[in-house]
Structure 1
Amino acid sequence: MTLYADLRVSRGAFDLALDLTVEPGEVVALLGPNGAGKTTALRTLAGLIALDSGRITLESAVWDEPPRTFRTPDRRPIGVVFQDYLLFNHLSCLENVAFGLRARGTDKQTARLEAARWLDTVGLSDYARTRPRALSGGQAQRVALARALATNPEVLLLDEPLAALDASTTLHVRAELGQHLSRFEGRTVLVTHDPLDAMVLADRLVIIENGQVVQQGKPTEVAHRPRTDYVAQLVGLNLYRGTADGTTVTLTDGGTITLAEPASGPVHVAFPPTAVSLYLEPPSGSPRNTWPAVVTGIEQHAHTVRVRLDATPTGPADLLADITPAAVADLHLTPGQPLHPTLKATEVHTYPV
């Protein structure tokens, strides 16, 4: 049974227009900047916001179709894990997991037995009597997931499920969540702003900007072929648009880039910041892309330093280069400094607009 959602919601000047399908066993991640409409989309699926127009169906069951049909959250076969988990602090972990079952009419003993089974599944059987306030962030996340799955939902909705965790915990919990999702036979919609969460957990990405889908596909496809500046920044690529004529691309915003393989017509041009080398003087040697540029920004990124440059009018604007701290010292980098970034044509990838 396919979950189909044609979501149309207006809130003041903001309009959400999103078509979404999720197959059984599939994890779809909604990824986008703050205010893109991700959480609004999730809340419409959960029944917390009614559609202004459109339709949500699970096979033949209609969940929302204005103005005739609207199923409240308790009448939708869903499980929800919110960003802050929303566990009941006055209940034990066992009672938290059993809550959804009890709310659906399951008798107390059966609900507790099923809750205990789910706590064991997520590795927390020893915490059955523990209150949520005594749990770590990772443990609370697993209890919330167990509570959502205990009702055997057809659709699992995850709203930034790892956002409340510290960096040291996230890696472990992300791996655990991935294992649980791989065993879940229902449909999962994951809302996140973290590209790593999306890349690791999702089978398919749906990128939303300003309430609209701007790109979707498998994580590897999106990572290698971004179609907007936002997506390029997420996956760490330089991205430009232009018109190719043989091995030369004339960029839309000015400048040119030389290719190793000829292309034709409107194209996206993409390459990683690590492919850009920086020199104080124009380098000699094999032909490649070389432009005079000015340093516009310097940012520390883990073990590398990201340098922003403006190479207009002969090259691209907002050019990113990743170099080592040692290279920063050798170049004596400062904002406003003139440099000569170079890019090998073999490092440049193009694909149709």
Structure 2
Amino acid sequence: MTGALGEVALDARVVVERGGFGLDAEIAAGPGDVVAVMGPSGAGKSTLLGALAGLVRMDAGYVSVGGRMLDAPPATRTAPASRGVVMLGQEARLFPHLTARDNVVFGLRAHGVSRAAADATAEDWLDRVGLAGFGRRRPAQLSGGQQQRVALARALATSPAVLLLDEPFTSLDAETAGDVRALVHDQLGATGTTAVVATHDAVDAVALASQLLVLEGGAVTQHGPVRDVLAAPATRFAAAVAGLNRVPGDARSGVWRAGGLALACDAGDGPVAAVFRPSDVGLLLAEASGRPAPAAATDPAPEAEPGAEWIAEVVRLEQTPAGVRIRTREPDVAVDVAADRVAALSIARGSRVRLRVAASVVRFLPGSART
């Protein structure tokens, strides 16, 4: 996770113990790299960024930026303002009594820039983030997206060694978030800024980052290039981020099994996870006897090629932009179905359904015992 020439802009191992929660995570990034950090709520994403920014005290480990050791408990600790690390969170946190331009100027002046140079630089950055002519407005006169643009300008104007973004688009509506995300992407690329983005949204990882680090229960469960992690998720959470089913099972004598699901498998004997898309699973209602409902109720899916069919119980329904995601158990499999079909079949929690998946759409990840 370093730059092309092996340089390391950020190198850290963060160990924090707080009230029964433990975080022990390593992270590294080269100059200009953007690392996305994803994990379920409570995994430690904000704690990790807080420690890198110097806002959370570490119990052990180290933080090095540009070869300069910032933290190495208990002997070394650098104050947040002296680290060259800037954090941008969900809220813009602008000074309400200052104009947009003066909010940007404030950061520059704090770094010793003259007033005249700071004014000119602030105007330039407001123009870069699409706010030319907005310099005299105060935060209360700006929309949430505009405030976040000012905060980004203030952060990047000081040329930070590392920029930390903690769920920066969560408080914005989808359209505004998309615009600001594109702006962040362009400005990080233009300035070559090293950044760490903590997010719950896979779009952030795909649109902004070159590397993806998955954090679960205070530990790193997977890291690597974004496309590699999403193509071969090592845990159920990572699979959910990638929009995939990941079903741990066991392969023996050329057959992989998990609950009532069995498929031919040439991955060798031992723990193996099957990976396939929820949209690739066919569904029809099953009677208590296990007999299928009438053929007219069948959801379109590959039928002509070898695969597997099994009976499963519905545990919950989730709304998706394209319809409904049906969650089943034994094994835990998600199925994407059009909303009108769910209504027609009267599928609800506790319903028994017959599922079908074609062998050609299933990939196997050998040696993968994680859930």
TM-score normalized by structure 2? 0.88
Name the residue aligned to 1:46. Answer: 53
Question: Do the aligned residues in 1 keep the contact of 2:205 with 2:212 (CA within 8 Å)?
Answer: yes
Range 36-45 or range 328-337, more displaced: 328-337
What displacement does 1:264 show?
3.7
Please identify runs of 4+ aligned residues in structure 1 that moved more than 6 A: none
| Equivalent residues in 2 for 1:144-159, closer than 5 Å | 144-159=151-166
| Aligned equivalents of 1:286, 1:66: Cα separation in 2 | 60
| Aligned equivalents of 2:66, 2:91: Cα separation in 1 | 31
CA spacing shift, 1:94–1:269, aligned 2, 3 Å:
same
| Aligned equivalents of 2:318, 2:74: Cα separation in 1 | 51
Name the residue aligned to 1:194. Answer: 201
| Equivalent residues in 2 for 1:115-264, closer than 5 Å | 115-245=122-252, 247-251=254-258, 254-259=259-264, 263-264=268-269
Q: Quick one: percent identity of the two aligned structures?
A: 41
SS in 1 for 2:228: helix
Gaps of 5+ in 2: 1-6, 286-290, 296-302
Name the residue aligned to 1:87. Answer: 94
What displacement does 1:309 show?
2.5
What displacement does 1:161 show?
1.0
Name the residue aligned to 2:67. Answer: 60
SS in 2 for 1:133: helix
Name the residue aligned to 1:345. Answer: 359
What displacement does 1:261 show?
5.2
CA spacing shift, 1:133–1:349, aligned 2, 3 Å:
same
What displacement does 1:236 show?
2.1
| Aligned equivalents of 1:335, 1:50: Cα separation in 2 | 45
Question: Do the aligned residues in 2 keep the contact of 1:77 with 1:153 (CA within 8 Å)?
Answer: yes
What displacement does 1:54 show?
0.9
Name the residue aligned to 1:326. Answer: 340
Question: Do the aligned residues in 2 keep the contact of 1:259 with 1:346 (CA within 8 Å)?
Answer: no
Matched AA of 1:150: A
1:262-311, Cα deviation, whole Å (9 max, x unpaired): 5443222111111110124558864320112233333331222212223x
| Aligned equivalents of 1:337, 1:34: Cα separation in 2 | 29
What displacement does 1:86 show?
0.6
| Aligned equivalents of 2:313, 2:52: Cα separation in 1 | 48
What displacement does 1:256 show?
3.7
Gaps of 5+ in 1: none
What displacement does 1:331 show?
2.8
1:84-132, Cα deviation, whole Å (9 max, x unpaired): 0110010001100011111122221111111111111112121011101
Question: Do the aligned residues in 2 keep the contact of 1:91 with 1:131 (CA within 8 Å)?
Answer: yes
Match of 1:277 among 273, 282, 285: 282
What displacement does 1:219 show?
1.8
Name the residue aligned to 1:309. Answer: 328
Question: Do the aligned residues in 2 keep the contact of 1:257 with 1:289 (CA within 8 Å)?
Answer: yes
CA spacing shift, 1:341–1:202, aligned 2, 3 Å:
same
SS in 2 for 1:25: coil
| Aligned equivalents of 1:8, 1:297: Cα separation in 2 | 37
SS in 1 for 2:122: helix
Name the residue aligned to 2:298. Answer: none
Question: Do the aligned residues in 1 keep the contact of 2:66 with 2:161 (CA within 8 Å)?
Answer: no
SS in 2 for 1:106: coil
Question: Do the aligned residues in 2 keep the contact of 1:259 with 1:348 (CA within 8 Å)?
Answer: no
Matched AA of 1:266: P
SS in 1 for 2:112: coil
Aligned pairs, how many? 346
| Aligned equivalents of 2:148, 2:43: Cα separation in 1 | 25
CA spacing shift, 1:107–1:304, aligned 2, 3 Å:
same
1:208-227, Cα deviation, whole Å (9 max, x unpaired): 11110011122221222111
Question: Do the aligned residues in 1 keep the contact of 2:251 with 2:265 (CA within 8 Å)?
Answer: no
TM-score normalized by structure 1? 0.92
